[in-house]
Amino acid sequence: MQLGADHVRVRVPATSANLGPGFDALGLALARYDVLEVRALGNGDVVVDVEGEGAGEVPGDERHLVVRALRAALELVGAPQTGLHLTCTNAIPHGRGLGSSAAAVVAGIAAARALVADPAALDDAAVLQLATEFEGHPDNAAPAIYGGATIAWTSTVEGREGAHAVRLDVHPDIEATVLVPSTRLATSRARGVLPQTVPHADAALNAGRAALLVDALTRSPQHLFEATEDRLHQEYRAGVMTASWELVRALRLDGLAATISGAGPTVLLLGRAQDREHADAVLRELLHGSDLWRAYRPGIDLEGVRSERVVGSTGLPASMR
């Protein structure tokens, strides 16, 4: 397959995984975005410019996660590799449990889809599969691709593990607030403290709460508090994110549906618009005098990743046509 464009733009949302009981399965897209532009270069060079989150920290060459994902997608569809000028304007915090790595992977694959002559060769299912191979699990990649809330899972058929997802339409009354701490936490560390086994009663409770959460997200937001109860992962991780877990517990004591976002340490608060005044009052009291947290109310992203070919691009070098 040939390339069909030389300049594309991609926007990808932040995501929050787990949402309490939906460990490694449920995810939610948030309206806070990384935006990137990719220009194909005929000379084989790779140039990476980053502004915002991650600037001065992420690799500026072939090791950049967007570049790696883009190249893997081009290889998957048999498109030629090319030099790249990647410009990233990042608003998704890194290492905070808001899906920054999944966003980079999905954005890279989406950029490849926009660059190739036949974008249909990289449909959403193919994007999810490749992103999951990069990430190891689809819970952040799925909402980054589809928007809204998602249920994601993997299954093995004939020795090959496939990634799948279904999209849920989030009830319009639901709002999300994220409380981002100044400290980071590696996902590997957060996973490393989880036990190999859990009590049967805890697993049973989580199964029921995860099922209830699907209804709460789509039809019955008044049940969000009960639906976000978890006994599988959050308390086990308390030792590596003490401030986050203490904040979750304090918010829940006031009847607010607070959870750890993904592997943490960001705290996610879900609620109804009509309950915003109460939530804000609780947050003001709990966070008064603290410089640890940045608070955002980003809204729910309903579109997922979006890409476009930039009008007025100069055309492809002859060697790339």
Closest CA to 115 of 166, 171, 74: 74
Distance separating alpha carbons of residues 154 and 147, to the nearest angstrom: 19
Residues 101 and 211 in one domain: no
Q: How far apart are CA 228 and CA 211, in angstroms?
A: 10
State whether 237 and 202 are in the same domain.
yes
* Contact call for residues 224 and 175 (beta carbons, < 8 A): no
Asked if residue 246 and residue 116 are part of one domain, the reply reads no
Give the domain extent around 163.
7-169+302-312
Same domain, 150 and 14: yes
Q: What pTM did the predictor assign?
A: 0.93
Domain of 111, CATH number, reads: 3.30.230.10
pLDDT along the chain (321 residues), means of 10: 94 98 97 98 92 92 96 96 96 96 98 95 97 94 99 87 96 98 86 91 97 98 98 91 95 97 96 96 92 93 96 48 32
Residues 306 and 275 in one domain: no
Domain assignment of residue 317, yes or no? no
Give residue 179's pLDDT.
Answer: 97
Judge if 137 and 233 occupy the same domain. no
Q: What is the CATH number of the domain that holds 272?
A: 3.30.70.890
Q: Measured between alpha carbons, how far is 37 from 192 in angstroms, rounded to an integer?
A: 35
* Confidence (pLDDT) at 11: 98
**212 within a domain of the structure (yes/no):** yes
- Identify whether 70 is part of a domain: yes
137 occurs within a structural domain: yes
Measured CA to CA in angstroms, residue 15 lies from 29, 103, 141, 205 at distances of 4, 8, 8, 25
Q: CA-CA-CA-CA torsion for 49, 54, 59, 62, nearest 10 degrees? A: -60
Count of beta carbons in the 10 Å neighbourhood of residue 169: 12
Q: Say whether both 18 and 153 belong to one domain.
A: yes
Q: Do residue 146 and residue 286 come from a single domain? A: no
Number of domains observed in the structure of the chain:
2
